[in-house]
Amino acid sequence: MAKVLVIGSGAREHAIAKSFLDSDQVETVFVAPGNPGMKRDGIETVAIGELDFDALINFAKENQVDLTFVGPEVPLAAGIVDEFESAGLKAFGPNKQSAQLESDKDFAKHFMMMNGIPTAQFGSFTNESDAIKFAAKFSFPVVVKQTGLAAGKGVAIAQDQSELETAVTAAIASDGRVLIEEFIKGEEFSVMVLLGGKNHILFPVSQDHKKIFANDEGPNTGGMGAYSPVPHVDDKLVLKTIKTIIDPTIAGLEKQQLLFNGVMYIGCIMDGDTPKVIEYNLRFGDPETQVLLPQLKTDFYHVITELMNGHRPDVDFQMDSFYLGVVVSAPGYPENPKQDIPMPDLPANVYYAGVHEQDGQLLSKGGRIFTIYDHAATLKEAQQKVYAELSQINLSDFYFRPDIGYRDL
């Protein structure tokens, strides 16, 4: 029986850990650092930070961990997989070089250009006045991006000259470089792919909700809810996305010797009839994972180990229902989330994120606190079910969006 270590601490990692624990081949799942809400499901949390590679490697060796699965982008960009592999340990995730597709947007844009992958027109600058001059090519709004990891906060949609200048200055101050992009007005969707070198497995399409308020208003967050599959992304569009985006991306990875074992999350946007890439993430999305992994009918540990061994396993997903998840956050999120709110009792269909334990009591910690999810034969019923369950919980002043799923209803 296998032992698995998951790196990370959010609801995404709770979902990943739970899927491993459901495997007949797995006896123990550790999560470092995890959160105390996960313990309810029999997951063991380990008090080691996600960037403390030496301690993580020691732990994995001492506890005979067979497989490490890395959830978040920060340790991937810092080279956790390279370090585990040098220590003779198996880790699922891109190495530092491939992780640049997420951690360096300039690298990603050049990768897309070199491999003919449709994406917004762009320029990349180290100098403010060159960036501002280039932006004049486009009419407002204009997209201004930091190149480095920014936890979803590195993109500004500048509506006028003064917002443009402020965003350019901020991006250059942060990373020494700024990307200017044409603004595309269209529906967004994401596809998640498991890669084992050239072999890949496509998950059902999922839809995140990035803005804090109903109707997609207010500031960006890490994601406030998701559903899957997504009715408005039909089979024809999925096939087009495979042909014009996923296949050329994998071919480009191979050509540039960037193939890896790990997750590839492709954020897409419709430009008229043409799907284009907004960004690559080399990890699962949060909260998308919370509605994707419950749809996997094949043993998750088997799928991951087969991919790592160079095989392409047969994989089944449920086909008869819609999954919908709502993120519950602390009041004040994303700017200034209130801390240490006592946690109510929660049902079993919850993945915990920002919680800590004090004197045996669970308290909130951070912005996104948990994801509650459920499924039903229609998207509408799935939505009604999750909101009915939320109404049964004493949520004090915790916040959630009331309209997850609205675009397809």
Site of interaction with ligand AMP (CB under 6 A): 120, 143, 152, 155, 181, 183-184, 188, 210, 267, 278-279
Closest among 390, 373, 377, 382 to 406, alpha carbons compared: 382
If one asks whether residue 100 binds ligand GLY (CB under 6 A), the answer comes out as: no
**In Å, what is the CA distance from 16 to each residue of 30, 62, 149, 257?**
11, 22, 22, 28
Of positions 37, 94, 196, 223, contacts ligand GLY by CB under 6 A? 223
Nearest distance in Å: CB 344, ligand GLY: 25
Residue 279's binding partner among ligand GLY, ligand AMP, none (Cβ under 5 to 8 angstroms by kind) is ligand AMP
The reply on whether position 354 binds ligand GLY by CB under 6 A is no
Beta bridge pairs of residue 352: 370
Edge-to-edge strands, sheet with 261-271: 199-202, 188-196, 261-271, 274-281
Give the list of residues 6+ apart from residue 367 with CB closer than 8 angstroms, or none. 221, 222, 329, 330, 333, 334, 337, 354
Write out the binding residues for ligand GLY, residues 44-63 only, by CB under 6 A: none
Nearer to ligand GLY by Cβ, of 13 and 286: the residue is 286
Give the Å distances, CA to CA, from 329 to 17, 211, 264.
Answer: 21, 12, 26
155 binds, among ligand GLY, ligand AMP, none (CB under 5 to 8 A by kind): ligand AMP
338, interface contact from ligand AMP, ligand GLY, none, CB < 5-8 Å by kind: none
72 binds ligand GLY (CB under 6 A): no
Per-position DSSP letters for 198-232, written without gaps between them: TEEEEPPPBEE--EEEGGGEEEE-S-SEEEES-TT
Which listed range, 116-124, 154-162, 247-255, 278-286, lies at the site for ligand GLY (CB under 6 A)? Answer: 278-286
Q: Please, which residue, 3 or 368, has the CB nearer to ligand GLY? A: 368
Residues 215, 199: Cα–Cα separation, whole Å: 38
DSSP annotation of 245 reads I
8 contacts ligand GLY (rule: CB under 6 A): no
Strand 26-33 relative to strand 2-8: parallel, antiparallel, unpaired? parallel
Indicate whether 262 belongs to the interface with ligand GLY (CB under 6 A).
Answer: no
In the complex, minimum distance from the CB of residue 286 to ligand GLY, in angstroms, rounded to a whole number: 5
223 binds, among ligand GLY, ligand AMP, none (CB under 5 to 8 A by kind): ligand GLY
